[in-house]
């Protein structure tokens, strides 16, 4: 999500002049607009040969409680698919959609990005915009704001000799395994960051620490868990946290380590437009790298796969695939990423898709592996992007359950299931890998904590 670009219609005169013969209609509409003081911003986030993606923001000068927005596209648009709306329809060039409930209110003076959509055709402009039946934007034509093209990162340099990425290259899903560039089944192992915004120090963003973990612990993959919903996380500061994630991606490229870009959320289906914008931009700029893996939804809670989680994944995967045709995407599953069997019965279509399985060994045991075996037998490819030798809360009580953790490790090894252990930070939880005083740059042999020795013993 980029900074919102508000367009105050200071140039109403210019719009009226441009429309010439319609000027009388425009003047009428302006009066209605002035009465309600609404404004609709139309921002094109990305476009490709045959279609585009856009976000819609509404600015309300008077409070809005529930909205129906409509407009006419000036260009030929078809196949529109909007999210976070109800009752969307496209009739000819006339589009209508209503709020989804949770995004229905806009406070006085607030600009709120209310929904997004993808469509076939070219963006053109929108005109005759109305909110709740009242003309906005003077009723004139609204050219889209276009997100600036970010500068491309440096061209891909070969991964450094002897590093995991140099050994394995581009990844793909082969049956229910992961394969390297030579078509060999591989198991990648590593660790996850803490929720980025809750780290006690910026361990995840430190290149020296990443290289130290690669060389001393043997990690091959690092997961960057970008918190989304809590106060101070992504939804509050999208550009700031996206930049931190990019730092981790660049570090991983330089270190020759795989990196999982984790949209670390529990209600991501309620923030689909934000997720689509985030992954669209990163897939556009980093999808050419061999070492990037996308993870759009950390842990859905107890929500329905078919009606809630799967449609979210379909939207985000479509957004990623519009930019990046091939990098692996790991899809979160209901009940804190344990219901892989449910996903297996109704999988998302597409290529190079895997599914997220999480376990915490004081809580999760053979019955969870049975569910996972059901998924494997159905042909699903799994990636354990979090685990702990602890209780499911991450080990608030400090306990470790190594016997059951070993059964999981053996099961993952037998099935070549890749994993990243939770989590790189200092704290009391038994899943915190580091103890107080651990330097931000690595060198942690005297700073191991909780389940860290067990995790490290099971790294390559």
Catalytic amino acids? 299, 386
In the stretch 377-396, what mask flags binding to Mg ion with x, by CB under 5 A?
Answer: --------------------
Tell how strand 185-186 and strand 177-179 pair up: antiparallel
**Three-state DSSP class for residue 51:** strand
368 lines the binding site for Mg ion (CB under 5 A): no
Q: How many CB atoms lie within 10 A of CB 285?
A: 18
Question: Smallest distance from the beta carbon of 287 to Mg ion, in angstroms?
Answer: 4
326 lines the binding site for Mg ion (CB under 5 A): yes
Question: Smallest distance from the beta carbon of 326 to Mg ion, in angstroms?
Answer: 4
- What is the C-alpha separation between 387 and 25, in angstroms, rounded? 62
Q: Token pair of 332, please?
A: 């979160």
Q: Which is nearer to Mg ion, 260 or 456 (CB)?
A: 260
Answer for which of 30, 327, 356, 458 binds Mg ion (CB under 5 A) is 327
**One-character DSSP codes across 252-266:** HHHHT-EEEEEEE-S
Q: Which stretch, 72-80, 317-325, 359-367, 385-393, contacts Mg ion (CB under 5 A)?
A: 317-325
Asked if 441 and 212 touch (Cβ cutoff 8 Å), the reply is: yes
Number of residues that bind Mg ion (CB under 5 A): 4
Q: Please, what is the angle between helix 12-19 and helix 23-36, to 10°?
A: 150
Q: How many CB atoms lie within 10 A of CB 64?
A: 22
Measured in residues, the chain has a length of 460
Q: Which is nearer to Mg ion, 240 or 325 (CB)?
A: 325
Q: Which is nearer to Mg ion, 56 or 282 (CB)?
A: 282
- What is the C-alpha separation between 179 and 290, in angstroms, rounded? 13
429 lines the binding site for Mg ion (CB under 5 A): no
Question: Smallest distance from the beta carbon of 56 to Mg ion, in angstroms?
Answer: 29
Q: Token pair of 327, please?
A: 């990098």
Q: Which stretch, 12-20, 92-100, 287-295, 360-368, contacts Mg ion (CB under 5 A)?
A: 287-295
- What is the C-alpha separation between 76 and 93, in angstroms, rounded? 7
324 lines the binding site for Mg ion (CB under 5 A): yes
Question: Smallest distance from the beta carbon of 249 to Mg ion, in angstroms?
Answer: 13
| H helix intervals, 66-206 | 164-168
End-to-end CA distance of the chain: 37
Q: Which is nearer to Mg ion, 309 or 329 (CB)?
A: 329
- What is the C-alpha separation between 147 and 151, in angstroms, rounded? 12
Question: Smallest distance from the beta carbon of 332 to Mg ion, in angstroms?
Answer: 21
Answer for which of 190, 238, 287, 296 binds Mg ion (CB under 5 A) is 287
Q: Which of residues 52-111 bind Mg ion (CB under 5 A)?
A: none
Q: Which is nearer to Mg ion, 288 or 407 (CB)?
A: 288
181 lines the binding site for Mg ion (CB under 5 A): no
Query: Contact residues for Mg ion (CB under 5 A)?
Result: 287, 324, 326-327
């Amino acid at each position: 999500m980029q900074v919102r670009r508000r367009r105050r219609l200071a140039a109403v005169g210019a719009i009226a002049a441009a429309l010439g013969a319609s000027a009388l209609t425009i003047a009428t509409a302006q009066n209605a607009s002035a009465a309600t003081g609404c404004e609709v911003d139309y921002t094109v986030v990305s476009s490709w040969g045959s279609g585009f993606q856009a976000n819609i923001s509404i600015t309300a000068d008077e409070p809005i409680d529930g909205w129906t927005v409509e407009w006419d596209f000036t260009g030929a648009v078809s196949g529109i698919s909007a999210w976070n709306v109800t009752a969307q329809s496209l009739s000819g060039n006339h589009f209508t959609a209503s709020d989804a409930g949770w995004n229905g209110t806009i406070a006085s003076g607030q600009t709120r990005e209310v929904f997004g959509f993808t469509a076939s055709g070219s963006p053109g402009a929108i005109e005759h915009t109305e909110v709740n039946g009242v003309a906005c934007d003077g009723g004139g034509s609204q050219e889209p704001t276009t997100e600036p093209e970010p500068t491309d990162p440096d061209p891909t340099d070969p991964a450094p000799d002897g590093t995991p990425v140099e050994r394995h290259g581009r990844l793909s899903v082969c049956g229910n395994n992961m394969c390297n560039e030579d078509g060999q089944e591989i198991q990648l192992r590593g660790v996850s960051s803490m929720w980025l915004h809750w780290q006690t120090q910026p361990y995840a963003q430190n290149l020296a620490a990443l290289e130290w973990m690669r060389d001393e612990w043997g990690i091959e993959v690092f997961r960057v868990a970008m918190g989304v919903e809590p106060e101070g996380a992504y939804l509050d500061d999208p550009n700031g946290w996206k930049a931190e994630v990019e730092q981790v991606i660049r570090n991983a490229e330089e270190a020759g380590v795989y990196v999982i870009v984790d949209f670390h959320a529990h209600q991501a289906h309620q923030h689909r437009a934000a997720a689509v914008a985030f992954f669209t931009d990163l897939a556009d700029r980093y999808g050419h790298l061999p070492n990037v893996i996308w993870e759009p939804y950390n842990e859905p809670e107890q929500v329905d796969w078919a009606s809630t989680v799967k449609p979210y994944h379909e939207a985000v995967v479509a957004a990623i695939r519009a930019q990046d045709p091939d990098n692996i995407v790991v899809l979160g599953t209901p009940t804190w990423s344990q219901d892989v069997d449910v996903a297996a019965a109704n999988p998302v279509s597409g290529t190079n898709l895997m599914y997220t399985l999480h376990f915490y060994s004081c809580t999760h045991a053979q019955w969870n592996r049975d569910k996972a075996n059901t998924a494997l037998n159905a042909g699903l490819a799994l990636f354990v992007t979090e685990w702990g030798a602890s209780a499911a809360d991450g080990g608030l009580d400090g306990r470790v359950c190594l016997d059951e953790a070993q059964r999981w490790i053996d099961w993952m090894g037998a099935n070549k299931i890749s994993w990243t252990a939770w989590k790189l930070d200092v704290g009391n939880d038994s899943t915190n890998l580091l103890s107080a005083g651990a330097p931000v740059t690595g060198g942690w042999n005297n700073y191991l904590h909780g389940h860290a020795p067990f995790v490290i013993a099971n790294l390559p």
